[in-house]
Structure 1
Amino acid sequence: MESKRTISRRHFLKYLGAGAASLAAAYTGLTAFSRKADASPQNVNAYEQLPETFNPTLHTAADADELLLAGGFSYHVLAAYGDTINKSGDTFGFNSSYTSFFPLPGSGSEALLWVNHESVQYSWMSDRSQPIVWELQKQMLYEQGGSFLHLRKDALGSWKLVPDSALALRITGLTPIELTGPVRGTKAVNGATLIQGTFANRGGAQTLWNTQLTCENRFESTCRDTGLPLSHYGWVIEIDPFDASKKPVKHTALGRFHHGSAAMSLNADNQVVVYMGEDSPDGFIYKYISSGKWAAGDVNAQILADGSLYAADLTQGSWIELSVENVRNQLNRLTYQVPEALYKSREQLLEQFQSQSDVLAFANEAALIVGATPCDRPVELTIHPSNKALFIACTRNDKRGNLHGHILRLKEGSGSSFEFETFLAGGRQSGFSSPGSLAFDKNGNLWVGSDIPADKLNSGAWAEFKNNGMYLVHPSGEARRTKQYASAPAEAAIGGLAFSGNQDTVFMAVNHPGASGAGTDKPTSKWQRRQGEMQPRSAVVAITGTL
C-alpha cells in the first residue's frame, strides 16, 4: 500500500537511529547472564519514540491482500518474478526469500542487490501426472538460484532497478559451479569437481571480504524432477558480485544439510567463524572454524575450504566436532544405541562413515550420532553488530507442541563452551508466531519476520496473528513490547531485510503471495499481478518513509 506522504531520507535515518546508543547498550549482555541492563528513562523514551502499531487505522493484525507498512512509510517494487534484469534478457527468479546489499566501489548512488530464489511453484508449470520434459526441467532450474540486481538512485534519491544493466547477473540451477574442500572429487559426490547449478536457495550471508554466501535448502524435489544427484546439493555457495568471470564455488567444508542461513564472524584468534542453521524439524545448529587466519583486506575464498565443522550440544553447552573419528568412536561404543530416526543399523553406519568427506556429505546424520541437540527448525541466524551474540530463529515444531517457535540467544565461552537462553518465545504474549527471518540494522535494532505456512494462516492456533508480518523487538526481549511494522499480502511471507549503506532504505523480499491458489483458476492473492494475468508474483521492494 503506497503512502503519498513526502519521503524524507533525514527522518528515516533518524527513525533507524533512534536511541541507537541506548539500544545497543541494552543488548550488551544476555539477560540471563547479566541482569544489569540499563533501564533508565532515556532508554525507554528512545524506544517509545517509535510508532506503537504498524498501521494506526487498524491497530491490530491484518488479513488484507496488501503489503501494509507502518504509518508514514511507503514502498515501491524493485523487481518481481519475470521482470527483465539485464541487457542479456535474464529475468528475475521465483519466490524471493533473502536480500543483501553491495554498494558499488566508489559510488554512493549505485549498488548491487543479491536476492535468493527459494523454489518454484510446480503447479504453474505442469500437470504433475505427466513426465517432466527437458524444457520444463530447464525452466525449474532457471527460476531458482539468485539474482544480482543493479540499482541506481534516481533524481529524487530513490533506488530503482537498471533493467538493461551489464552488471546484473543470474545464478541458476544451470550455472557451472566448482566444488572446494574435503568432499571435492570424492566418492561422496560421485567424483565430481564441477557440478551443475544451485537451487532451493533460502538464506545467506555476506563474507568479510565482500562476497555473497547463499544456502541450499530443500533440494530433493528439484533433484527428483531433473534427475540430478542429491549429493551435489545442500551446500553453501560463494559468489563474487563484482567479478562475473569467477565461477561460483560450493564450500563442502561447511557441510551438507538443509541450510536455512549463515552468519559470519571472526573469533579472538582471527579465524573465520560461520554459524549455520538447519531448516528441518529436529535440525541442528552448526559452526565452522577456519584452519587459517584472516586479516582485513584479504580476499581469499580458500579460507572456507579448510577448517573444522561442529554441531551444538545445548544440553552440555558445548560444540561437538563433526570428525570421522568422533562419529566412528561413538558407533563403536558397546553401549551405543543408534537413534531410531536414522533407520540404519550400526553396521550400515560404520560402512557409510569411513572418511571426513562422508561426515561432511551427511552432516545431519553425523550430528545426530555424536549427540548434538535437535532444535525446532533453527532456520535463520544473525549476529549482533556490537556484542557479537548469536541470535537463532527456531521457527516452530508442531510435533513437539512448539506451535509458535522462539528465538535463542547464544554467547560463546572459553574453548568449545557456550551459554544460551530463550531470548523471546513466539505466541500471544509476543504478538507474532513462527519467526522465520532475523536481521539487525547497524544500530542494533532486531527485526523479525514471521513464517506461518499458508495453510495455517488465519486458522486454528494461528488465527489471531492474521497474515505474516515484520516486527521490531524491544532490546530487553520483553514480549509485550514487540511492535509490528509490516503485514504481508495474502499467504505471503516477508523477510530477507537488507539496509542501504546509510540506512535510508530498507530492502525486503515478499515470498510466495497466494501460495495455496498458485497455478489454479482461483488465485488466492492479487498482489503484484501483471496486467492481464491471474497469478500473483513474488518480488523485492524498497521501503522509505517519515515518522
Structure 2
Amino acid sequence: MESEKKLSRRHFLKYLGTGAASLAAAYSGLNAFSTKANAASEVNAYDQLPETFNPTLHTAADADQLLLANGFTYQVIAAYGDSINKAGDTLGFNSSYTSFFSYPGSSSEGLLWVDHESAQYAWMLDRSKAVAWEQQKQLLYEQGGSILHVKKDTFGQWKLVSDSTIARRVSGLSPIELTGPVRGAKAVDGATLVQGTLANRGGGKTLWNTQLTGENRFESTCRDAGLSLAHYGWMVEVDPFDKANKPVKHTALGRFHHGSSAMTIRADDRVVVYMGEDSPDGFLYKFVSASKWTEADGKANSNLLSEGSLYAADLIQGRWIELSIDNVRKQLKSLTYQVPEKMFKSKETLLGQFQTLSDVLASASEAAWIVGATPCDRPAELTVHPTNQSVFIACTQNESRGNLHGHIIRLKEGLGDTFAFETFIAGGRQSGFSCPGSVTFDNVGNLWVASDISPERLNTGAWSEFKNNGLYLIHPKGAAEKTKQYASAPIEAALGGLSFTDNQATVFVAVNHPGASGAGTATPSSQWQHRFGKKDPRSAVVVITRSIL
C-alpha cells in the first residue's frame, strides 16, 4: 500500500484517480458483467482529479487553443513537416493516433508510432485536372505512419530525437507484403507485394510488442494515385524496433474501413483481435487465430495473424457469425433470402463475386451484410477493459438514423460464439460529450474518451453546446454528473490516440486536423500555434504532463 501512495505522488496518475468512490466503481460499474470487487483497500491509493475542466478564459471551449484542465501542461513533440530522423524524413499529415513503445528497461526513452489518415492540398480541390506524378508521390508520402524516437532531456522533459537513426516513415510509398488467404489471390489481382499503406486511422498493439495500424478511407487516394482499391483497407503490422522486419498486411483480418483494433488472448491461448468498421452502418469484427500463442515465440507470433477465423457481430441475437465462404453462399442460395437494399446487387451478382474465402475477406463488409451481422453507427475505435476483458466500442454517430451524438457500447464474451451486449453511455446533453471517437483505458480502469464531432458540425445546430472537440473521463458508472472534461482542442481539430508511458507518468496525444476546412490553403480557419509564432494550422503530436508547481 505504501508503494502505491508513493506512485500517486510521483506520477501523472495521481491526477487520474478519482478517489475511493470512483475506484470502487472502476471495478464494479465498468465491470457490470461480473461480480463487484471490494475496493476499500484503495481509499488512499490515488488523489482526486480536479472536479471540472476549468480554463482561464470564458471562451475556452471554442477557443483556437489546446486547453487543459488545471494541473496539466503540454509540449509539442512534432508537427506536420518536422524532420524526424537523420535522413530528413518528415512527420506526415493529419496525425490521428499514437502508440508508445518504451525502450526495454527504460522509463525515459522510447518509440512513438503515429498514424496519418489523410492529406489535403490546394491542388486537390480541382478534380477536373489529373494529379501529376510529383503530386501523387507527395499525397502518398504524407499518409501511412511515422515512428518517432523520443527521449527525456536533462530537465526530464520528453523531446524528439530529430537525428535518430531508428526513427522512420512507413508511407504510401513503402513496399508491403501480403500474408494470409488473400495473398496472391484473384481478389487482389494476384498480388503478393503492394505499394504502401495509407488512410491510417487507428490501431492497437500486439501481444508481442509490434503495432497494428488500420487502413480507413482509402478510395480517394487510390483514385488520385492510380492504385488498385483491392490493395488497401487492410490491417498492417509494423515492428517499430526492427527496420529489417518489413511491414505486412494481414489479409486474414479482413478488408474494410478499419477504425482500430484491440488484441487479447482466450483461455485456450488463441489470439483474438477485435476490430471496428469506421463507417455509417459499419460492423464489429473478431478474428480468432487457428494456432495458439506461445510467449517464448516472441515476434514469430505474428504468423498467428495469417490463419484463423473472422467473425462479424449479430448484436440482436448476441452471437458471432463466421465470415466463411460456406456461410455466405448458403445464405445467398436460400430461396427466402433477400439481399439488403443498401448492397445494390442481386443474388446472382453476389454468387458470382463470392467464390472463395479470399473473396469473403476482400469484401468483408458485404459478407457481413449477407450473413446477417448488425450494422452499427460508425464503430470507430474500441478498447479492452484491463481486468474483465469486456470490449468497449465507440460508435461515433449516424445522422441517417437520427443518432446525432453517438454512444459507447460494451460487449462481454459468453460461451461458444455468444456474447452479452449493452449500451454503456450515450452521447448528448445527458453525458456532456458528443460523438465519441477515441477510447482507451488507463492501468487502473478509468475510461478516457476523445470526441470527434466533424469540422462542419462543430459549434452548429445540435452540436453547438459542446463547442470544440474535447477529451473526457467517463465515470465508470456512466453517470452524467461524473463525466469530466480535461482538454479542449483548437478550432476544427480532434484529439485522438491517447497513449500512456508504462508508468502512466506521461500521456501522448495527436492533435488532428486543426483548421480542417482550410488546411493546405491560404485561408486556414485555425491559427493554432503549434510552434511559437507559427500560425499555419498543422496536425501535431503533443506530450501532456503534470504542471511543475
TM tier relative to shorter chain: over 0.9
Asked if structure 1 preserves the Cα contact closer than 8 Å seen for 2:449 and 2:474, the reply is yes
1:180 matches 2:170 = no
1:427 matches 2:425 = no
Structure-1 residue corresponding to 2:239? 240
Structure-1 residue corresponding to 2:361? 360
Asked if structure 1 preserves the Cα contact closer than 8 Å seen for 2:79 and 2:530, the reply is no
Structure-2 residue corresponding to 1:122? 121
Instruction: Name the CA distance, whole Å, in 2 between partners of 1:316 and 1:204.
Output: 28
Q: Cα deviations across residues 158-214 of structure 1 (Å, max 9, x unaligned)?
A: 110000100101000000000000000000000000000000000000100000000
Structure 1 unmatched ranges of 5 or more = 1-7
Asked if structure 1 preserves the Cα contact closer than 8 Å seen for 2:11 and 2:503, the reply is no
1:323 matches 2:338 = no
1:467 matches 2:455 = no
Pairwise CA distance, 1:15: 1.9
Instruction: Name the CA distance, whole Å, in 2 between partners of 1:131 and 1:531.
Output: 37
Aligned partner letter, 2:168:
L
Instruction: Name the CA distance, whole Å, in 1 between partners of 2:452 and 2:380.
Output: 11
Pairwise CA distance, 1:126: 6.3
C-alpha RMSD of matched pairs (Å): 2.3
1:490 matches 2:497 = no
Instruction: Name the CA distance, whole Å, in 1 between partners of 2:165 and 2:254.
Output: 34
Instruction: Name the CA distance, whole Å, in 2 between partners of 1:24 and 1:543.
Output: 26
Q: Cα deviations across residues 485-537 of structure 1 (Å, max 9, x unaligned)?
A: 00000000001000011111110000000011223332110113568866310
Pairwise CA distance, 1:243: 0.8
Structure-1 residue corresponding to 2:5? none
Q: Cα deviations across residues 319-371 of structure 1 (Å, max 9, x unaligned)?
A: 00000000000000110001111111101000000000000000000000000
Pairwise CA distance, 1:480: 2.3
Instruction: Name the CA distance, whole Å, in 2 between partners of 1:24 and 1:102.
Output: 30
Alpha carbons of 1:78 and 1:252: their partners in 2 closer, same or farther (altered >3 Å)? same
Pairwise CA distance, 1:543: 0.4
Structure-2 residue corresponding to 1:515? 516
Structure 1-normalised TM-score? 0.94
Instruction: Name the CA distance, whole Å, in 2 between partners of 1:49 and 1:22.
Output: 9
Alpha carbons of 1:22 and 1:424: their partners in 2 closer, same or farther (altered >3 Å)? closer
Alpha carbons of 1:266 and 1:24: their partners in 2 closer, same or farther (altered >3 Å)? farther
Count of aligned pairs between the two proteins = 539
- Listed as ranges, the matches of 1:85-164 within 5 Å are 85-123=84-122, 127-164=126-163
1:167 matches 2:166 = yes
Secondary structure of the structure 1 residue equivalent to 2:350: helix
Alpha carbons of 1:193 and 1:24: their partners in 2 closer, same or farther (altered >3 Å)? farther
Alpha carbons of 1:357 and 1:160: their partners in 2 closer, same or farther (altered >3 Å)? same
1:291 matches 2:285 = no
Pairwise CA distance, 1:58: 5.2
Structure-2 residue corresponding to 1:14? 14
Asked if structure 1 preserves the Cα contact closer than 8 Å seen for 2:255 and 2:362, the reply is yes
Secondary structure of the structure 2 residue equivalent to 1:344: coil
Pairwise CA distance, 1:477: 1.3
Structure-1 residue corresponding to 2:344? 343
Pairwise CA distance, 1:18: 5.2
More RCO (CA 8 Å, sep 6+): 1
* Worse-superposed segment, 524-533 or 353-362: 524-533
Secondary structure of the structure 1 residue equivalent to 2:463: helix
Asked if structure 1 preserves the Cα contact closer than 8 Å seen for 2:494 and 2:512, the reply is yes
Q: Cα deviations across residues 414-461 of structure 1 (Å, max 9, x unaligned)?
A: 000000110000000111000000011111111000000000100100
- Listed as ranges, the matches of 1:63-82 within 5 Å are 63-82=62-81
Structure 2-normalised TM-score? 0.94
Structure-1 residue corresponding to 2:202? 203
Secondary structure of the structure 1 residue equivalent to 2:198: coil
Pairwise CA distance, 1:406: 0.2
Pairwise CA distance, 1:242: 1.1
Structure-1 residue corresponding to 2:260? 261
Pairwise CA distance, 1:29: 6.0
Structure 2 unmatched ranges of 5 or more = 1-7
Asked if structure 2 preserves the Cα contact closer than 8 Å seen for 1:125 and 1:519, the reply is no
Asked if structure 1 preserves the Cα contact closer than 8 Å seen for 2:406 and 2:434, the reply is yes
Instruction: Name the CA distance, whole Å, in 2 between partners of 1:122 and 1:207.
Output: 34
Pairwise CA distance, 1:145: 0.3
Pairwise CA distance, 1:462: 0.2
Percent identity between matched residues is 72
Instruction: Name the CA distance, whole Å, in 2 between partners of 1:119 and 1:307.
Output: 31
Asked if structure 1 preserves the Cα contact closer than 8 Å seen for 2:26 and 2:444, the reply is no
Alpha carbons of 1:440 and 1:197: their partners in 2 closer, same or farther (altered >3 Å)? same
Instruction: Name the CA distance, whole Å, in 2 between partners of 1:31 and 1:101.
Output: 26
